[in-house]
Structure 1
Amino acid sequence: MPDLATQILERIPEGIAVDRASLAVDANYDSVGRVLSTLVKQRKLVRVGRGFYKKAVSRNSVSTGTIEERIERKISKSRRNVFMRENFKDFGSYDAVGRALKKKTESGRLIQISKGIYAKAEYSRITGKPAPLVGIKTLASEALGLLGYKVSASSPEKNYNQGRSTQVPTGRTLAVNKAPRRRIGYDGKYVVFERAR
């Protein structure tokens, strides 16, 4: 019978992330964990998420630039304002991508608007701090769309547009089909969610 490391490597196809729980190998949980850690250290596997692993890219297929540079190219070419951490999972291991995203936020190129969600940013001439390129409502709508929520006009917006109210909406209230379990915003400014009617 092949050793545990060989069994694990045989069960992970090239280019596909595999859940640790789906590895049908003849060993207990702790033994599998130790071997997975060893394979990551040996650069035979990369950890791409909690409990998910895939085979490391061969050194012969050299990646063009560092992870940080690849992230920069992706966000520069995209028309989107919002990105999820998983959009960059093919650029390296889970931890390496996390470090690269941290550097991008420290440099002011990205700003984190929720756990695992980032927005394009640039330094504001007024505050001198990094700020998103678009307003918080646009960011939140885009982020919620990526998360699978349906966004519609809030009741203050509807009332204002239909002439039932003269109060101009703040633009920070969004109507969604179900209440998200996360906050979306930055620098102490967050959107408010209401149930869509």
Structure 2
Amino acid sequence: MPRRTLQQRIEERIASKGDAVFLTREFADLSGERQVLRALRKLVDDGKLIRLGYGVYGLAVKSRLSGEAILSNPTGFSGAARQALSKLGVAWEPTTAERAYNEGRSTQIPVNPVVKLKGRFSRKLRYKATELAFER
């Protein structure tokens, strides 16, 4: 039986978890930090993952239109960013504008991904030109 590479073991773990967002520390038990980062970078180059921020990666699929890697998340970047915040242990809640829309008090649909933070968070999460904004 041929020995599996670190990249193959990471891909197997990604497939078995079924999540759309992954943190670098989820693969720390497979090898050293530098090797894991190198394997994740290779997966990004291959179009299987997208780097959303420091230590945060999103599952990717190849676009049928352009052939480039796009974020594979049914709730889009906003959902992926919220999942990443939850995995990082950052307390957050929907913004007041989003709550107003969900409760039927407004017809304005929030366009940009914004969350209200309950704690501290200093990283940036972004996908292409869209960056997660924070309401304090």
Q: Distance in 2 between matches of 1:126 and 1:178?
A: 40
Overall identity of the aligned pairs, in %: 32
Tell me the equivalent position of 2:64. Answer: 125
Q: Distance in 2 between matches of 1:189 and 1:130?
A: 16
State the TM-score, normalizing by the size of structure 1: 0.63
Tell me the equivalent position of 1:115. Answer: 54
Shift of residue 154, structure 1, vs aligned partner: 1.1
Q: Distance in 1 between matches of 2:33 and 2:109?
A: 43
Q: Could you say which structure has the larger radius of gyration? A: 1
CA pair 178-100 structure 1, distance change in 2 beyond 3 A: same
Tell me the equivalent position of 1:19. Answer: none
Tell me the equivalent position of 2:129. Answer: 188
Contact 2:52 2:58 in 1 (8 A): yes
Contact 2:92 2:119 in 1 (8 A): no
CA deviation vs aligned residue, 1:69-93 (integer Å, no higher than 9, x gap): 0000000111211111111112222
Secondary structure of 1:90 counterpart = coil
User: Aligned residues, how many?
Assistant: 133
Gaps of 5+ in 2: none
CA pair 64-91 structure 1, distance change in 2 beyond 3 A: farther
Give the superposed CA RMSD. 1.7
Q: How does 1:5-44 map to 2 (within 5 A)?
A: none
Mean CA deviation greater in 173-182 or 113-122: 173-182
Shift of residue 171, structure 1, vs aligned partner: 5.2
Shift of residue 137, structure 1, vs aligned partner: 1.1
